[in-house]
Amino acid sequence: MFDLVLGTNNQKKLVELRLLLPERHISLTTLAEIPESLDVEETGATFTENAALKATEQAKHLGRWVLAEDSGLTVDALKGDPGIYSARYAGTHGDDEANNDKLLAELENVPAEKRTAKFNCYLCLSDPDGNIRLEEHGTCGGVIATSRSGKAGFGYDPLFVIPEYHRTFGELDLTVKRAISHRSRALRSFVPKLMRLIGNLS
């Protein structure tokens, strides 16, 4: 079994990661299960840089393989904001309600055809010495609604409409979200590369 640490404390992200990683080949441990894990400061200027920081710093500290991810929402009318600040857009990290309120306020006078946006996910795998061994990313395009709809998911999901389904991520069930989300798209590209790497290490 390949020992892999999932470098996030976000329980809802962990659910998606666990569903998409092959647990019969990989022993998964979360940061919540490791008391001595670091709280890595996200000082990067891009999703890629933050994912790399979270993976390499944690891996060197723990002496273990670490898979980290950085993800967020980019809105075209806001020139890519909230971007890397998605989780703390309104000031407090993880305050989904405040973040959604701010996004709605920022887009208050923006017409429907200009409310296009993307969810982005960047993955980074570091070996125990802090060397980046794999990177991958995935995106999912949508439109920002004018009001919340749906209780599923987290973050900006109640505002993020998937045009093909005419529903927000907050309204779609987990099976559909798992098929089309930015995180699942990144992982579908990442997992075959990870399995090849594991094969080469053994």
Numbered residues of the known binding site for substrate: 8-13, 71, 154-157, 177, 182-183
Amino acid, single-letter form, for residue 192:
P
Of the residues 70, 76, 95, 173, which is catalytic? 70
Report the distance separating Cα 68 and Cα 51, nearest Å: 6
Q: And the tokens for 188? A: 């579908």
Report the distance separating Cα 109 and Cα 100, nearest Å: 16
Q: Could you tell me which residues are annotated as the binding site for Mg(2+)?
A: 41, 70
C-alpha angle 10-12-14 in degrees, rounded to nearest 5: 70
**Where on the phi/psi map is residue 80: left (φ > 0), alpha (ψ -120 to 50), or beta?**
left
Contact between 137 and 118 under an 8 Å Cβ cutoff? The reply is no
Report strand pairing: 132-144 vs 66-75.
unpaired
96 is catalytic: no
Q: Could you tell me which residues are annotated as the binding site?
A: 8-13, 41, 70-71, 154-157, 177, 182-183
> What is the DSSP code string of 65-94?
-EEEEEEEEEEGGGTT-BGGGGGGTTSSTT
Active-site residues, by number, are 70
